[in-house]
Amino acid sequence: MFTEKDAEALFIITDDTGMIQHSSFTIPDPNSGYTTDDNARALMTSVMLYEKYSTPKYLKLIYRYLSFLLYAQNKNGGFKNFMDYNRNFIEENGSEDCFGRCLWCLGYTLNSNSLSDTVKYAVLDMIKKAIPNIYNLNFIRGKSYSLIGLCLIFNFMNDKDKIKDTIVKISDQLVNNFKINSNADWKWFEDKLTYSNSILPFSLLKSYALTKNQEYLNIAIDTLSFLDNIYFKSGYFKPIGCNGWFEKGDISPAEFDEQPVESCSSAFMYLEAYKITRKSIYLNRLKSCYEWFTGNNSSKKSLIDKSTHGSYDGIMKSRINLNTGAESILAKITTQLLLSEYL
């Protein structure tokens, strides 16, 4: 069940500029500034909320986060990422991950039936400006985020053949990464598991849904199953810890810190797998991703702050990180919204 109070933290951490990056406990910390990463993800979450409730307060958030992305986009279509509290960007070019997340979230926004044409025109302009940058991507997560975005924008583009060729090209690169790095015991695209791992199978699932290339589906399910065996080894969702990750040849993954963004990225993966296969196990896994926030986790404690309904920043070795940053707040709300579609 999702109620509007579950989104309250979104308003607490958003000011007239956009979503503030970090908090000191539950108080937004202006010293941390803003990131385009967070505001792109906040855009997608706000679109989900507006589609669910159709109330003006969520539409206002959509305008605010879109305005942030407009300001962040460079003339060449790329995106700056880190901004200080005085609205000055402190870098000229953001990461490839940031670029890919922007394309994904803009693509999601473009697909909304709840938004006006004039909003979508602005979104489409940003997307068209961004597309040439896709061909210069080098890193696998940036490619995967962008692949998700390309699949979402496909039906809105005039040059569909070129977009589909790009979708196939990136998907084939992921397939090649898998073939190079995988073996009987290690079904993965790289020689280690780090952050937002679930985005990689998710992107191939999205590609399969569009192209119907069976190899994409086979590898997506193989890698999903590989992650699933690691995540649910203890009988509940336990993401790989960021203090050490999990390298090929290691006996076991790092235990801590567990971060909320891993639950959210996995929720997208499991939901897409369910949509394609209709296997109920994937809905159960989606539910477990949300239950990680509510206490079905290694700490056996809820990560949801009772006063703001936001999420704490993760599970550390000896305690819960009681800060409630933008990424964590968005991860909890988005995971809960994805699950609410099927409750």
Last residue of a domain, one of 71, 102, 136: 136
Domain match, 325 and 306 both: yes
Measuring CA to CA, how many Å separate 341 from each of 42, 66, 278?
19, 25, 15
Residue 144 lies in a domain: no
**pLDDT tens, position by position, 140-199:** 999 999 999 999 999 999 999 999 999 999 999 999 999 999 999 999 999 999 999 999
Judge contact between 295 and 302, C-beta under 8 A: yes
Q: For residue 156, what pLDDT is reported?
A: 97
Domain that residue 298 falls in = 1-32+232-343
The contacts of residue 340 (CB under 8 Å, 6+ apart) are: 1, 2, 52
**pLDDT tens, position by position, 288-315:** 999 999 999 999 999 999 999 999 999 9
Residue 189 lies in a domain: no
> Which amino acid is it at 27?
I
With 80 as the cut, is the pLDDT of residue 343 above it? Answer: no
Confidence tier at 280 by pLDDT (50, 70, 90): very high
Domain match, 113 and 16 both: no
- 277-313 burial, b at 16+ Cβ within 10 Å, e below that, comes to eeeeebbebbbbbbbbbeebbbbeebbbbeebbbbbb
**pLDDT tens, position by position, 86-103:** 999 999 999 999 999 999
**pLDDT tens, position by position, 322-336:** 999 999 999 999 999
Q: For residue 142, what pLDDT is reported?
A: 99
Domain match, 27 and 37 both: no
C-beta pairs of 180-184 under 8 Å, 24+ apart in sequence? 181/248, 182/222
- Percent of the chain scored above 70 by pLDDT? 100
For the residues 72-81, what does the mean pLDDT come to?
99
**pLDDT tens, position by position, 245-276:** 999 999 999 999 999 999 999 999 999 999 99
Domain match, 38 and 97 both: yes
Q: Whole-angstrom Cα distance, residue 313 to residue 255?
A: 16
Domain match, 244 and 342 both: yes
What does 161-190 look like in DSSP terms, one character per residue? HHHHHHHHHHHHHHHHHHHHH--SS--SSS
Q: For residue 53, what pLDDT is reported?
A: 97
Residue 174 lies in a domain: no
The number of domains in the chain is 2
Q: For residue 1, what pLDDT is reported?
A: 82
Four-CA torsion 226, 230, 232, 236, nearest 10 degrees: -150
**pLDDT tens, position by position, 204-261:** 999 999 999 999 999 999 999 999 999 999 999 999 999 999 999 999 999 999 999 9
**pLDDT tens, position by position, 19-34:** 999 999 999 999 999 9
Domain match, 16 and 60 both: no
Q: For residue 104, what pLDDT is reported?
A: 99
Residue 237 lies in a domain: yes
Last residue of a domain, one of 106, 136, 166: 136
